[in-house]
Amino acid sequence: MDDTSFEIAQTAARLVVEEGLEYGPAKRRALKALGLPVRTGLPDNDAVEDAVRDYIALFCADTQPGELAALRRLAAVWMARLADFRPHLGGAVWHGTATRWSDIYIQLFCDDPKSAEIALIDHQVDYDVRSVTGFNGETVDALSLHSRCPELGESVGVHLLIYDHDDLRGALKPDRRGRKPRGDLPAVRALIEA
């Protein structure tokens, strides 16, 4: 990685950790903050994740493990509530780079795409629907809500990404680093206990 990409990754990492930005927006804001041209080549997400881990180790080693554990416990609560939809936790909370500013991303693999939405309505949960890019590059619905996290003393964004049941097979393939990109409720509980 060249010096410019390294500097972008470091600046983006600070934005991810301190402001809870996702990698794409953090990289774009890093370009602006560094005064670099819009067409400057950006580091890949693996480089940003490495920088995030370094930043956390240097500046947040005393607080981040507790914040991560609280987010994982909250994710497990939502996964248990939505067990009928084969929930899998992904993102920073799954990979261990989440801080109190991070949102929770849970993928639901449904037989009927509207069934999860109906379940939220039945339980009187307020949510917003939006379209996002899924893990295969396709557009998927995201049901976004806020959930109180007692351990952190604040509300946390919880995003339920709706996939077809058949997408589950491809969802469990290892990522470029050989890691599971997401985990089911027993896997999340194992992380919490570890």
Residue extents of the structural domains in the chain = 3-59, 64-193
Checking if the pLDDT of 1 tops 80, the result is no
Q: How far apart are CA 158 and CA 144, in angstroms?
A: 6
Backbone angles phi and psi of 121, in degrees to 5: -65, -45
The torsion defined by the Cα of 74, 75, 76 and 82, in degrees rounded to 10, comes to: 120
Give the per-residue pLDDT at 175: 83
Q: What residue type is assigned to position 115 of the chain? A: S
- The answer to whether residues 44 and 55 touch, using CB atoms and an 8 Å cutoff, is no
Distance set, CA 73 to CA 94, 119, 176, 182 (Å): 11, 21, 27, 15
Backbone angles phi and psi of 135, in degrees to 5: -70, -15
Give the per-residue pLDDT at 157: 96
Checking if the pLDDT of 33 tops 90, the result is yes
Q: What is the pLDDT of residues 140-190, one digit of tens each?
A: 999 999 999 999 999 999 999 999 988 888 788 888 888 899 999 999 999
Q: What is the pTM of this model?
A: 0.92
77, 85, 156: which is closest to 116 by C-alpha?
85
Q: Per DSSP, what are the bridge partners of residue 112?
A: none
Q: What is the pLDDT of residues 115-136, one digit of tens each?
A: 999 999 999 999 999 999 888 8
Give the per-residue pLDDT at 80: 97
Give the per-residue pLDDT at 28: 96
Give the per-residue pLDDT at 53: 97
Place of tokens 């554990």: 69
Q: What is the pLDDT of residues 97-121, one digit of tens each?
A: 999 999 999 999 999 989 999 999 9
Q: pLDDT averaged over the chain?
A: 94
Residue-wise DSSP of 139-194: EEEEEEEEEEETTTTEEEEEEEEEEEGGGHHHHTS--TTS--S-B-HHHHHHHHH-
Burial of 93 (0-12, 13-18, 19+ CB in 10 A): buried
Alpha-carbon Rg for the chain in angstroms: 17
Q: What residue type is assigned to position 164 of the chain? A: D
Q: How far apart are CA 182 and CA 107, in angstroms?
A: 9
Class of domain 64-193: alpha beta
